[in-house]
Structure 1
Amino acid sequence: MSERSGQGPMSQTRRWVGLGVAVLLIPVGLGLRLLPGLVGDLAGGVAYAAMIYALLVAIALRLGRSGTTLLALVLTLGIELLQLTGLPAAMVEAFGPARYLLGSTFAWLDLVSAAAGVAVASGVDALLTRSRRARG
């Protein structure tokens, strides 16, 4: 079976690796947000976007890497742009932990960190896939 079908041993390994990476990126991202100022904000944003990519690998194998990359970009950039509406800020006010999923204020540089996080995750995914294929 092909990797694109979401079946077979390579696909199942990719799914579990994606899930494991997503889980590991939660505390990493939260920790990076503790770094001072812009560095912490951008590094946390990169980790958040990479986590979204990894979650998509785990739940949507049939998309393939290109589809996963595109969907991760749409989701992360969409969440950032949603902050322009004030809806996430209202949700955070009602339920504080929503800030970790939706953020609360818009910043242009967050779009850059989201795109960078997806690009890094997709690149690492490509390298790992190529390495697994080379080993057989």
Structure 2
Amino acid sequence: MSLAVRWTRLLMVVSAAGFAGAAYAIRATMDGPIEQYSGAALSGAIVYTIVIFISPLISPLPAGSAAIAYCWFIEFAQLTPVPAALSQRSWLARQLLGAQFDLIDVAWYPVGVISLVAAHWLVRARTHSRTDPTPTLTS
């Protein structure tokens, strides 16, 4: 495993912890739409970091697509009774699966993911421009 992959994975763990900490801090200090919307956006961001942790060399667009698809899958699964039943029994299940469907969350997951896709794309573009200099024509 390369050093870049190790650093990327470490950065994703730190990022996920930071996003989770921010979500819990907002939940503890605020109430209402800011709490709800930021929670969904930060959940999407956490899922994005998990995707990058699992596959550090993945491109930004496929990583973002996978993160949003997973978030939507979990949200739409809440239309069934399974997540609610599991959430009643376990705090961890409630954090991972939620308890009830909310259409607003479907719109806010991409907000958290798209900003990270853009940042990931910029970092990759900058890294590739440093390691792959464009050849110049000489006469």
- TM-score range normalised by the length of the shorter chain: 0.7 to 0.9
Q: What SS does the corresponding residue of 1:67 show, helix, strand or coil?
A: helix
Q: Partners of 2:109 and 2:92 in 1: how far apart?
A: 20
Gaps of 5+ in 1: 1-6
Per-residue CA shift, 1:12-55, capped at 9, x if unaligned?
43332222211221111222233211110110111111011011
Q: Which amino acid aligns with 2:27?
A: R
Residue among 50, 54, 61 paired with 2:56: 61
* Aligned length in residues: 130
1:46 matched to 2:41? The reply is yes
Residue among 2, 14, 17 paired with 1:20: 14
Q: What SS does the corresponding residue of 2:101 show, helix, strand or coil?
A: coil
Q: Partners of 1:14 and 1:65 in 2: how far apart?
A: 13
Shift of 1:132: 3.5
TM-score by length of structure 2 reads 0.81
Partner of 1:4: none
Q: Which amino acid aligns with 1:36?
A: D
Q: Partners of 1:12 and 1:95 in 2: how far apart?
A: 32
Partner of 2:98: 103
Matched-pair identity in %: 22
Note if contact 1:77-1:115 (Cα within 8 Å) is conserved in structure 2. no
Residue among 61, 68, 81 paired with 1:86: 81
Shift of 1:127: 2.2
Higher helix share: 1
Q: Partners of 2:122 and 2:85 in 1: how far apart?
A: 40
Shift of 1:68: 1.1
Q: Partners of 1:12 and 1:96 in 2: how far apart?
A: 31
1:77 matched to 2:76? The reply is no
Inter-CA distance 16–108: structure 2 relative to 1 (3 Å threshold): same
Note if contact 1:33-1:43 (Cα within 8 Å) is conserved in structure 2. no
Deviates more, 1:11-20 or 1:74-83: 11-20
Partner of 1:3: none
Q: Partners of 2:49 and 2:108 in 1: how far apart?
A: 16
Aligned-residue CA RMSD in angstroms?
1.9
TM-score by length of structure 1 reads 0.83
Gaps of 5+ in 2: 132-139
Q: Which amino acid aligns with 2:83?
A: P
